[in-house]
C-alpha cells in the first residue's frame, strides 16, 4: 500500500478509535506524502518522532486533532549491535541485514549510524518487549538496548577537557566531568542513575580506571581517555571526553521523542 493510502486508512482508524495510529518509521519522502495526503483533513494531525535532533527516518503517527499529543508515548528506544561481525563505517547494509535477520521489520527501525566502535540506532520500543507480532520469542542475539545517554548521535559534538581530581573515585571523576557538584553526583550514584561500562554502580567510592565509560541518566556519557599523571600538589590529571544528551529540536513535530 502506498503512503497516501496508508495515511488515509490510518486517519479513519484514528477517528474511529479516538487514538493515535502509528505508520512506523518512514523515509522523508514518505513522511511528506503522508502529511500531504492529510493536509486538508481537519479532524486528524500528523506527528513525527525521530529520537534525536536531525533524524532522517521518523516514526510517523496520525492522531485525532483533539488528542493531547504530550500524553502520547511514541515508544522510541535506542539500540547497539554488539558481539557480532558487523563492524566498520562501511557496513551499514550488513547492520541492517542483521536487524532483518532478527525478524525486525524495517518500519520498526529508525536511523542507523556508526558510533565509532559499534552500530547504534533508533528503534521501536516494542522490539524489546520479548515477542514479535506473531507471539514468537524474539532472537535478538547481539542487539542491546541503550539508555539515551549512551548513544553517539550523528552530529553530536564531544567536549574534551583536562581536569584534576583528588582520587579516582566515581563521584570525583563524575563531578569533574559533568556539570554538577560532586555532592550532587554522589546522590545520583546512590539511587542508581550512573553506569560504568554498562553496569549500574551505586557506590560513590567505586574505582575508575583509564578507558572507563561513565553514563549518567539525563546528563550524557563521559569517557576517561587518559590518566596523565599527578600534579605537584598530588592531584591526578585526567583527560575526559563528555558527550552531552542530544535532544530533538523543540520545534520538531512530535516534540520529545524519548521513551523514558
Residues 73-92 pLDDT 10s: 999 999 999 866 555 666 78
C-alpha cell at 240: 575526559
Ranges of beta strands (E only) in the chain are 21-26, 44-49, 58-64, 76-81, 109-114, 119-124, 143-145, 159-165, 194-196, 199-200, 213-216, 220-230, 236-244
Q: Which residues pair with 108 in a beta bridge?
A: none
| Alpha carbon 35 to chain centroid, angstroms | 25
| All domains in the chain, ordered by first residue | 3-68 (3.30.1370.50), 76-150 (3.30.70), 159-244 (3.10.290.10)
Please, what's the b/e burial string for 172-204 (b: 16 or more CB within 10 A of its CB; e: otherwise)? bbbbbbbeeebeebbebbeeebbbbeeeebeeb
CA–CA gap between residue 24 and residue 181 (Å, rounded):
41
Would you state the pLDDT for residue 146?
A: 87
C-alpha cell at 21: 495510529
Would you state the pLDDT for residue 70?
A: 86
Please, what's the b/e burial string for 132-165 (b: 16 or more CB within 10 A of its CB; e: otherwise)? beeeeebebebbbebbbbbbbbbebeeeeeeeeb
What does each of the 260 residues of the chain score in pLDDT, given as a tens digit?
A: 899 999 999 999 999 999 999 999 999 999 999 999 999 999 999 999 999 888 999 999 999 999 988 889 999 999 999 866 555 666 788 889 889 988 899 999 999 998 877 899 999 998 987 644 444 445 567 888 888 878 888 877 789 999 999 999 999 999 999 989 999 999 999 999 999 988 999 999 999 999 999 999 888 889 999 999 999 899 999 999 998 765 555 444 444 443 32
Please say whether the beta carbons of 77 and 99 come within 8 A. Answer: no
Would you state the pLDDT for residue 86?
A: 57
Amino acid at each position: 500500500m502506498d503512503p497516501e493510502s496508508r495515511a488515509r486508512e490510518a486517519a479513519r482508524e484514528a477517528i474511529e478509535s479516538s487514538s493515535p495510529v502509528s505508520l512506523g518509521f518512514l523515509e522523508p519522502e514518505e513522511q511528506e506524502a503522508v502529511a500531504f495526503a492529510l493536509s486538508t483533513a481537519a479532524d486528524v494531525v500528523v506527528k513525527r518522532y525521530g529520537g534525536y535532533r536531525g533524524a532522517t527516518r521518523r516514526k510517523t503517527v496520525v492522531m485525532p486533532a483533539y488528542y493531547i499529543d504530550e500524553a502520547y508515548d511514541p515508544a522510541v528506544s535506542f539500540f547497539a549491535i554488539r558481539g557480532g561481525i558487523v563492524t566498520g563505517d562501511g557496513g551499514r547494509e550488513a547492520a541492517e541485514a542483521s536487524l532483518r535477520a532478527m525478524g525486525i521489520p524495517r518500519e520498526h527501525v529508525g536511523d542507523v549510524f556508526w558510533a565509532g566502535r559499534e552500530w547504534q540506532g533508533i528503534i521501536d520500543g516494542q522490539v524489546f518487549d520479548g515477542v514479535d507480532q506473531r507471539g514468537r520469542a524474539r532472537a535478538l542475539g547481539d542487539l542491546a538496548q541503550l539508555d539515551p545517554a549512551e548513544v553517539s548521535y550523528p552530529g553530536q559534538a564531544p567536549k574534551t577537557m583536562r581536569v584534576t581530581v583528588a582520587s579516582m573515585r566515581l563521584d570525583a571523576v563524575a563531578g569533574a566531568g559533568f556539570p554538577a557538584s560532586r555532592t550532587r553526583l554522589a546522590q545520583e550514584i546512590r539511587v542508581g542513575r550512573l553506569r560504568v561500562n554498562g553496569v549500574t554502580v551505586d557506590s560513590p567510592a567505586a574505582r575508575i580506571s583509564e578507558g572507563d565509560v561513565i553514563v549518567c541518566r539525563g546528563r550524557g556519557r563521559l569517557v576517561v581517555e587518559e590518566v596523565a599523571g599527578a600534579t605537584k600538589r598530588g592531584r591526578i590529571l585526567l583527560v575526559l571526553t563528555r558527550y552531552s544528551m542530544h535532544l530533538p529540536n523543540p520545534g520538531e513535530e512530535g516534540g520529545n521523542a524519548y521513551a523514558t
